[in-house]
Chain A
Amino acid sequence: MTTPDEVLDCLGQRCPLPVIALARRLPELPVGAVIRVLADDPAAAVDIPAWCRMRNQEFLGAAPAPGPAYDVRRVR
């Protein structure tokens, strides 16, 4: 299990807001850093991995409980 370098709390936000927050924050972290996005909008489960694919960042998967969360590593 990855320990995130940062947690981004997007609970209660509707898509595309969690994806926008991720897109704003990730480039400010060093390459190799892992960010955990907490997002309970069901679209986040689809859109965060899709964003990673479009932006060539690494989607590490849904993070373990509690709550819906997604880990992303900055790779470029």
Chain B
Amino acid sequence: MIPSPVYLDAATAAPLHPVARQALLAALDDGWADPARLYWAARRARQLLDAAREATAETLGVRPDELSFTPSGTSAAHTAVLGGLLGRRRTGGALVHSTIEHSAVLHAAEHHVARGGTAVEVPVDRLGRLDLTAWSTAVAGPGVALAALIAASHEVGTVQPVEAAATACADAGVPLYVDAAQVVGRVPVPAGWSVLTASARKWGGPPGVGLLVVRKGTRWESPWPADERESGRTPGTLNLPAVVAAAASLRAAAADAAAQAARLSPLVDRIRTRVAAEVPDVEVVGDPERRLPHLVTFSCLYVDGEALLHALDRRGFAVSSGSSCTSSTLRPSHVLEAMGVLSHGNVRVSLHSGSTEADVDRFLAELPQIVADLRAQAGVVGL
């Protein structure tokens, strides 16, 4: 019997929200023209874009002119970091960031360093929580142009003390950039930031839409060649139908977010408890309390992460992993590394509005045997 598919990788991409699908189809008909032109089809597209921007800004609690749509969460993160550094280059060339930022932020940091800038990494503890003392010292250091902090870890779910970190930044006069990809549309966005980014595919919008918010008064300059679209912050023609779908689904996801969090968080607790109790030699990682409602990560001792993903896939379960064998670079996840937790045999489960209690229970029922079989095959039972 072919097992029914259970998709548990919402932190990479949530299944398309029905509202997104509807909006996308409608906008394919009405939103194909260039919103900057001066004829009827363009005006229709312009109305769609303006409405999408207003709705999204309202959900985020920002002004529409502070918000730009980008081609992805990754490009939004690159633009946020490089633009924040460029805008304050006269203050200095240092970027402060946590060790658990998304690779998009880390790659922007590397790009900055390769061009003569500096980067200061701030560590986290074993649960993946920012070291606030080290953060406060780092942002008060000389020549800090920008500080970057992920709102909540995409790999282990630990929610970061963004507001305390923002206070330290404000005291030092340093703008804070927050990568909010895993919180927008799911939990309230913390306050205190100057620049914020998100990604539509994380909340059930289509892939290929990011958000970039630059608060009024922030010293920020586009790092890209000039382009007048999106307030000059991010170049290129927008995929307007996708933007419209992203905006519609964000509104729907945000309206339902508290109910979904209340439903999914106990399921995550159930996974945390039962995996720890029923799978021998497993390390459930991340903060058990200050965490995202929909995401949990664990590592199984002596198990090959890639083999585990394949075995789960054969049973219909789609999950992701931070183990080195599953990455193209063959390096373990820098997040697990920064936390000092086991990196092999790693599984990240992330739930979405379509995830049911029955899905989670079937996963929990099958996982112990799948892990036991892999350990038996590898001859590591009893080690």
Binding site for B on A (CB under 8 A): 14-16, 19-20, 23-24, 41-43, 45-47, 49-51, 54
Contact = CB atoms under 8 A, between A and B. Distances in A.
A20 B336 CA distance: 19
B342 A50 contact: yes
Contacts of B281: 54
A47 B330 contact: no
A43 B343 contact: yes
A12 B156 CA distance: 29
B383 A15 contact: no
27 contacts: A15-B323, A15-B332, A16-B301, A16-B302, A16-B303, A16-B344, A20-B378, A20-B380, A41-B324, A42-B324, A42-B330, A43-B324, A43-B344, A45-B337, A46-B332, A46-B336, A47-B332, A50-B283, A50-B299, A50-B340, A50-B341, A50-B342, A50-B343, A51-B342, A54-B281, A54-B283, A54-B342
A38 B341 CA distance: 20
Contacts of A45: 337
B331 interface: yes
A12 B323 CA distance: 17
B297 to A, nearest CB: 14
A47 B332 CA distance: 10
B252 interface: no
Contact of B344 (A15, A23, A49): A15
B175 to A, nearest CB: 33
Contacts of B293: none
A19 B342 CA distance: 10
Most chain A CB neighbours (cut-off 10 Å) among B283, B324, B336, B340: B324
Contacts of A49: 340
Given A41-B324, A54-B342, A46 B337 contact: yes
Nearest to B331: A42
B208 interface: no
Nearest to A18: B344
Contacts of A15: 304, 323-325, 332, 343-344
